[in-house]
A = this chain, B = another copy of it.
Amino acid sequence: MFKALDPLLHQQLRLSIVSLLASVESADFNFLLEKTEATKGNLSVQISKLKDAEYLEVNKSFKNNYPHTTCKLTQKGRKAFEAYVEAIQEYLKPNN
């Protein structure tokens, strides 16, 4: 009846992150922080989880002497996002 929803994406902050990254080449920590309005701790944790699942590629470097983290959606992440979008649509239209 209903397809299972990828638990990694069926969470508000992680879904926000992936949704944002779906439309840009890459984004840095502060961009995601501002757009999602999450706390830094929460954002850090959720980025890590997405990275561990290989949904994100995370790059750490230095920019103007400060640490600088950028994130980019992987193919695997993009596929998962597309599948999630497909799957949840079924739940959203009353007609089952």
B16 & A2 in contact (Cβ 8 Å cutoff): yes
Number of residues of chain A lying within 8 A (CB) of chain B: 23
- Please give the count of copies of this chain that the complex contains: 2
The 7 residue pairs across chains A and B that have the minimum distance between CB atoms: A22-B94, A23-B94, A85-B92, A19-B91, A1-B35, A15-B91, A2-B16
Question: Which A27-85 residues sit within 8 Å CB-CB of chain B?
Answer: 35-37, 85
A88 within 8 A of B: yes
> Which residues of A approach B to under 8 Å, CB–CB?
1-2, 4-5, 10, 12, 15-16, 19-20, 22-23, 35-37, 85, 88-89, 91-92, 94-96
Task: Out of B36, B37, B92, B96, name the residue touching A88 (CB < 8 Å).
Answer: B92
